[in-house]
Amino acid sequence: MKMQNQSSVAEFILLGFSNFPELQEQLFGAFLVVYLVTLMGNAIIIVVISLEQSLHVPLYLFLQNLSVVDMGISMVIMPVMLVILSTEKMRISILGCLVQMYFILTLGVTECFLLGVMAFDLFAAICHPLSYPMIMNKMVFMKLVTFSWVSGITVATVQTIWVFSFPFCGDKKINHISCETPAVLELACADTFLFEIYAFIGTILTVIVPFSLIFLSYIRILFAILKMPSTTGKQKAFSTCASHLTSVTLFYGTASMTYLQPKSGYSPETKKLTSLAFSLLTPLLNPLIYSLRNMDLHTF
């Protein structure tokens, strides 16, 4: 009898903001502008760093990877969001939902670790300027970037396969803006307790490991800056760190609201807004944050 009640779901329906039909057109216009600006801003950073040889140093190459991630997150989520707003809901196949979840997780985890290794790069540059070329050589840079991407791919592969190993039955409507793990998991008609424990612990570790690296790096950086005799040197160091700290605060703030919130702690509409902030604000603002703070990029 249990098997009969479990329908073979071939697709899901993403509801988005269908509860507010009167706002669909305005939201579509606003999000389309944000999407295009996000793509343009990140594409400019990627192209400028690729073409300008003087920017082929770890600081800017990490930033280039960050822009690739931010552009990817926007491209994975925003087109689907725009379709939902133009039709009030969107049908998405099981495979399409799986692919979207996979890339959201891959890019999100990769950005988490990239921000951590960028903090280590700043620590090496400010605290050990003379030995910096040896500390952050090409091989070390490649290993750190590879580790960030492999971590994202590994977490996404395990989590996505596990989620879609559950049977889905009954209502196939996902009351969310994308196929994020918590929203899809609500439709599973099996015991997901073990997965939820794994996902929570995995999220904590994914956040704590790079955040600890960021925290420890900035403690050392702060002491190094305070010891600098030159006011100009202090201002330059603070300016360099300010853009990264702003990006870290923005990313971790929105990510924690999205993935570390209690299962039933917020309404579906609030969860949509926090998810939207995570997938929209960080990719949109990062190019602005780094280009305004960085004179090397600002001059091109």
> Among 78, 95, 210, which residue's Cα sits nearest to residue 155?
210
Q: Distance between CA 42 and CA 214 in Å, rounded?
A: 23
User: Residue 296: its pLDDT value, please?
Assistant: 55
User: Residue 275: its pLDDT value, please?
Assistant: 84
Token reading at 18: 């269908």
Return the CATH class of domain 2-298. Answer: mainly alpha
User: Residue 269: its pLDDT value, please?
Assistant: 79
User: 39 and 71 in contact (C-beta within 8 Å)?
Assistant: yes
User: Residue 85: its pLDDT value, please?
Assistant: 87
Give the total residue count for the chain: 300
User: Residue 20: its pLDDT value, please?
Assistant: 79
User: Residue 262: its pLDDT value, please?
Assistant: 63
* Cα→Cα distances 156→2, 55, 99, 108, Å: 30, 31, 10, 9
* Cα→Cα distances 70→101, 107, 205, 236, Å: 15, 8, 22, 26
User: Residue 90: its pLDDT value, please?
Assistant: 83
Q: Distance between CA 33 and CA 237 in Å, rounded?
A: 34
Angle at 152 between CA 150 and CA 153, to 5 degrees: 65
Grouped pLDDT means (10 residues each) for the chain, 300 residues:
52 86 87 95 95 92 96 94 84 94 96 96 92 94 97 96 90 89 90 91 88 94 88 81 89 78 69 84 89 57
| DSSP 8-state class, residue 279 | I
